[in-house]
Amino acid sequence: MADRKSYVIVCDDLWISLLGKINLIGTYTQDIVISGQAVAVPQMVFYFVCETDKEDPFQSISLQVEFPGDAPRIMPVQFMPHPTVTDPTRNKIVLKQPFLIQNVILRPGRIKATVIDGGRAIDAGGIWITSLLTTSGH
């Protein structure tokens, strides 16, 4: 199996333009800081970027996001046909897929983002949630 890589960008919202451009709104670049031990938010978007060799394309993947103190949320990815015309020197296939999660309870700890490729888990990173209650004494 080819060397596969993945990362995730976390934001509040995402817009897709008529021409297919993705606009990430409210992107988190540091820890998410909450005012208590648990805070409800209406939604979060996890924008996954997954890369594999052209000679070993993805066959079946799912995206998984696990919030502290909550069960994992899983989304199977439906594949679109690859373009038939592409630069022959291109040796990587990159899949970009948003994962909208609604009605989220944020608690202190790490949000884990994972790509499940067959039965193999690829760590896509994540982001930490920090409470003002636990950091105010520092």
Residue spans per domain, the chain: 5-135
- Distance separating alpha carbons of residues 67 and 79, to the nearest angstrom: 26
**pTM for the complete prediction?**
0.89
Kind of pairing, strands 61-66 and 73-76?
Answer: antiparallel
Long-range contacts, stretch 22-25, CB < 8 angstroms, 24+ apart: 22/47, 22/96, 22/98
The structure tokens 């979060």 sit at 44
Residue 136: pLDDT over 50: no
pLDDT at residue 59 greater than cutoff 90 = no
State pLDDT tens for residues 62-115. Answer: 999 999 999 999 999 987 666 556 778 888 888 999 999 999 999 999 999 999
Class of domain 5-135: mainly beta
CA atoms within 13 A on the CB side of 84: 0
